[in-house]
Amino acid sequence: MADPSNTNVPRHVAIIMDGNGRWARARGLPRTMGHKKGVEAVREVVRAAGDIGISYLTLFAFSSENWRRPEAEVTDLMGLLKAFIRRDLADLHRENVRIRIIGERENLRSDILPLLLEAEETTKANTALTLVIAFNYGSRDEISRAMRAIGRRIAAGEIAPEAVTPELIDAHLDTAGIPDPDLIIRTSGEERLSNFLLWQAAYSELVFVPEYWPDFDRDLFLKTLEKFAGRERRFGGLTPASILAGE
Ligand code: FPP
């Protein structure tokens, strides 16, 4: 299906799924409905990413700052994530999707951590799309944890301070082994990274789209990828839309 030598298709796409609350408010609905509709968009985009031949898709599901939201909303988001893993894990596994979780794992509630670990364990040998779920994730927290780990290795005499290179830092981040994102998309018109993949975004193309996350469907995803293809390279390769059209 997808031609891996096609440089117009990003290898790694990361998405800040923003605007669930505003989507709901614009319709006079409770915020929960926006998150619920947001999960449907997640399903559609994960499937499309696999079809297009994207190798890594990272979704910002819950930030370390999201705990500050009202308790009812936090519970709702947790419930949706748990339901997603419970209901969709078998399908994702069947579709050869490998799941990776990034973010702080310590102190996670006992009802969520085992599910996340199970999703990773079940799918670890899969070879199609890698779906990276950023949960309880904050980039500065991730970098701090990496620095502490490196500091401990230096203190133990295992490595010299001179051994600290970008590659060594990469290897201590939650994203170790995952290539940097080629493209970072944020929905809802906000134009900032909000503590998402700050280190990894050094050379990423950034595309901000005005639509709220629940409205982000396959077509919009394709349009956004077209924008990336046009912006970055014009080597005459295939575009994501023409791959899907079987051209
Ligand atoms: C931003 O909308 C969205 C979130 C904080 C959470 C995104 C989570 C999901 C789509 C569901 C669970 C995820 C997976 C991977 C199944 P917002 O509430 O900040 O919207 P607003 O800025 O309009 O208020």
Task: Confirm or reject: Cβ of 45 under 6 Å from ligand 1.
Answer: no
Taking 50 as the threshold, does the pLDDT of residue 3 lie above it?
A: no
Closest atom of ligand 1 to 25 CA is 23
7 falls in which pLDDT band (50, 70, 90)?
low
Closest atom of ligand 1 to 190 CA is 22
The pLDDT value given to residue 98: 98
- Is 64 part of any domain? yes
- Is 162 part of any domain? no
- Is 128 part of any domain? yes
Q: Which residues of 12-36 are buried (b: 16+ CB within 10 A; e: fewer)?
A: bbbbbbbbbbbbbeeeeeebbbbbb
Residue whose CA is at the smallest distance from ligand 1 atom 7: 61
- Is 223 part of any domain? yes
Over residues 178-215, the pLDDT tens digits come to 999 999 999 999 999 999 999 999 999 999 999 999 99
User: Mean pLDDT for the chain?
Assistant: 93
Token reading at 75: 């519970």
Task: Confirm or reject: Cβ of 183 under 6 Å from ligand 1.
Answer: no
Structural domain boundaries enclosing 37 = 12-138+178-244
Annotated catalytic sites, by residue? Answer: 18, 66
Taking 90 as the threshold, does the pLDDT of residue 83 lie above it?
A: yes
pTM for this predicted structure: 0.92
- Is 170 part of any domain? no
- 127/97 Cα distance (integer angstroms): 7
- Is 157 part of any domain? no
Number of domains in the chain: 1
* CATH at residue 118: 3.40.1180.10
Over residues 102-123, the pLDDT tens digits come to 999 998 888 899 999 999 999 9
Task: Confirm or reject: Cβ of 103 under 6 Å from ligand 1.
Answer: no
Binding residue numbers: 18-23, 31, 35, 63-65, 67, 69, 186, 192-194, 205
